[in-house]
Chain A
Amino acid sequence: DIQMTQSPSSLSASVGDRVTITCRASQGISNYLAWFQQKPGKAPKSLIYAASSLQSGVPSKFSGSGSGTDFTLTISSLQPEDFATYYCQQYNSYPLTFGPGTKVDIK
């Protein structure tokens, strides 16, 4: 199985900050990487697929990059509604696997 790691596991940031989350795969996954946002008590929401493509309706303050084993999710200007946990997931091979998550909270 491909193992996914994320760093940091949590971070505190202020409204307006630029935030970057890193995701690493245990082996190369091309660009088969998705990002999800989950708020407390809610279902996950799909943000990005193919490492850098935004899902329909997702604001452009979210961006993704990377290929192979190293990926990043960037939120350009953090807003109150962005405080949540973010997960990456590889879909290069079965079983599909999620990263452990990065919790973004208010400083």
Chain B
Amino acid sequence: EVQLVQSGAEVKKPGESLKISCKGSGYSFTSYWIGWVRQMPGKGLEWMGIIYPGDSDTRYSPSFQGQVTISADKSISTAYLQWSSLKASDTAMYYCARLAGAGIAAAHFDYWGQGTLVTVSS
């Protein structure tokens, strides 16, 4: 069974750093892209970027390029989303999700993590 299990909720202060995780199981972690999606309180879904754990190839949405870093450690089947300096506006639920396959024709999400709530407040 494919599962994506995310790390727990975080409460941080502005300016602090943070790294949240998404652990995949039940499939070949290195063979599928993993993406991150932001959902601000009461708002819609925003595609942030994706990583291919096999070779760490990464694509970012221009809206998030330079604001976050997506990485992966294939030895432990885990993808990460990190911030070097959080802002209050980073307060949101963050979901990881698996792309169904390689190539643009399969670049749709099929499995989702449960979400990680990040709260940034002074």
A28-54 contacts to B (CB < 8 Å): 32, 34, 36, 38, 43-46, 49-50
B63 at the interface (CB under 8 A from A): yes
Contact between chains at A49 and B100 (CB < 8 Å): yes
Chain A residue nearest in CB terms to B105? A32
B61 at the interface (CB under 8 A from A): yes
A34 to B108, alpha carbons, bound, how many Å? 7
- By DSSP majority rule, is chain A's interface helix, strand, loop, or mixed? loop
Q: Using Cβ atoms and an 8 Å threshold, which residues of chain A touch B112? A: 43-46
Contact between chains at B61 and A91 (CB < 8 Å): no
The answer to whether A101 and B47 touch (CB under 8 A), given A43-B114, A55-B110, is no
Q: What band does the interface of chain B fall in when counting residues whose beta carbon is under 8 Å from A?
A: 20 to 34
A49 to B97, alpha carbons, bound, how many Å? 14
Contact between chains at B47 and A43 (CB < 8 Å): no
Q: Using Cβ atoms and an 8 Å threshold, which residues of chain A touch B37? A: 44
B84 to chain A, nearest CB (A): 21
B-side residues, CB < 8 A to A, are 35, 37, 44-47, 49, 59-63, 95, 97, 100, 104-105, 107-115
What are the 9 closest A-B residue pairs judged by CB atoms, nearest first?
Answer: A95-B61, A34-B108, A91-B107, A49-B108, A98-B45, A43-B112, A96-B47, A101-B44, A91-B108
